[in-house]
Structures are given as structure tokens and as C-alpha cells.
Amino acid sequence: MTRFSVVAAITLSAFSGAWLLAQETKPVPKDAVRLSIPGCAKGAAFTTVRPSADQPGTYDVPAGVHMHMNGSKQLMTAIKAHQESMIEITGTVRKDDLRQDGISLGKGVRIAPGPSPSSGGSPGVPIAPQIQIDVESWRQISGTCPK
């Protein structure tokens, strides 16, 4: 073997090894779940849609749920460039954020117990917690988002 062949083989194996490392996914924390869900993005907000038969998603999240997307600047810029199109994002969400307490009234409406009124003059104001999703990847799927 020539010296050039040896150097080329070592370089090729180093780059292929780096590619394999890049393909590994981060481990999911015990209190979280990795999911893939279809929906529409607007800025850093993501709204889920009802999964279609050909794009089922991996977790049962009702349509109309609003999430805040967290991700690298490069990833978020790519997602923002496709705000008119339906996308599917894959990421991790805390299990507690997906829990649906209370009584379902249908069409994404639930009645749940709120905080007790504060002591002293004004009653407590219930605040719906914002679901945070740490986006790992995304892909464009068929369909368009409503304006």
C-alpha cells in the first residue's frame, strides 16, 4: 500500500466514525418522553394537529395543544422558514406537562382544579403552564397550516 492510501483510509475512517457519533440520540431523562408530533409552527410556538392515517405521530397528544419549542438557533431558523407548511417535530417533553387532569368537555376543553384563592384581597389567578418541548429534529409533511 502506498503512503497516500494509508492516509486516505485513516481519514475516511475518522470521518465515518464522526458521522456515526452524530447519529446517536441523547438519552431521555426518567421524567420525560421522546415524541414525534405533527403540527404547525409560528415563531417558537408549535400547535399540534390531529394526526392523519399516513402521519400518525408517536404519542397521543390532542389537536390544538400549544407548545413552546426550544432548540438550537440553526434548527429554529430552519423550522421558522417552513411556517406555512405542516411539519412533524421530534423532541422530549416532561411527562407531567402532558398529563391531562380534570374532566374533558370535548374539543380540547378540560375543567381542572385551580389554585386556591390567595389570602388577602384578590383571588388567585389560574395560569395554564406552557408545555416546553426540546426539539431534536423536524421534517416537512404534507399539508398546509391555516393562517
Task: Tell me the per-residue pLDDT of 44-76, one tens digit each, with 9 for 90 and over.
Answer: 999 998 876 665 556 678 888 899 999 999 999
The Cα 59–Cα 38 span in angstroms is 10
Q: What is the pLDDT of residue 22?
A: 44
Which residues are CB-contacts of 146 (< 8 A; sequence separation ≥ 6)? 40
Which residues are CB-contacts of 49 (< 8 A; sequence separation ≥ 6)? 38, 39, 40, 63, 86, 143
Q: What is the pLDDT of residue 128?
A: 57
The Cα 88–Cα 137 span in angstroms is 9
Class of domain 27-107+129-147: mainly beta
Mean pLDDT of 65-91: 92
Q: What is the pLDDT of residues 96-108, one digit of tens each?
A: 887 766 665 655 5
The Cα 135–Cα 93 span in angstroms is 9
CA 87 distance to own-chain centroid:
11
Pick 41 or 98 by higher pLDDT. 41
Nearest 5°: phi and psi at 22?
Answer: -70, -25
The pairing of strands 131-144 and 66-70 is: parallel
pLDDT at 18 over 50: no
Percent of the chain's residues with pLDDT above 90: 33
